[in-house]
Amino acid sequence: ETGVTQTPRHLVMGMTNKKSLKCEQHLGHNAMYWYKQSAKKPLELMFVYNFKEQTENNSVPSRFSPECPNSSHLFLHLHTLQPEDSALYLCASSQVGDNSPLHFGNGTRLTVT
């Protein structure tokens, strides 16, 4: 069983909808991440939070809005998405510090219609 839980597992939304992805980690970690996994492309780092503070925004469009209310929870708020945003969105957590391995959730499969 993964220590990182993502909900929902699958999401279909129209381009005018607003939805949120949720991630919760039970590992006592203090860093959390959002990655995007698209077919035939390398994993793309989107956002990093260390101790609830955003430390990385990898040129992500503003239609993706992250929120980290505490070290255990991470959200990705979605609005006015495009079909090319359809992908698997993976949440991960780790301890802050070099070489600390990332623990991933099972992802949310997002389809934008």
Partner 1 sequence: GDSVTQMEGPVTLSEEAFLTINCTYTATGYPSLFWYVQYPGEGLQLLLKATKADDKGSNKGFEATYRKETTSFHLEKGSVQVSDSAVYFCALSDNNAGNMLTFGGGTRLMVKP
For partner 1, the binding residues (CB under 8 A) are 2, 4, 6, 31, 33, 40-43, 45, 48, 50, 55-56, 90, 92, 94, 96-107
Distance CA 45, CA 10 (A): 20
Cα(88)–Cα(86) distance, integer angstroms: 7
Give 42-48 contacts, CB < 8 A, sequence gap 24+.
43/90, 46/76, 47/76
* Residue 31 beta carbon to partner 1: minimum distance, rounded to whole angstroms: 7
Residue 85 Cβ vs partner 1, minimum distance, rounded to whole Å = 19
Least distance (Å) from partner 1 to the CB of residue 93? 11
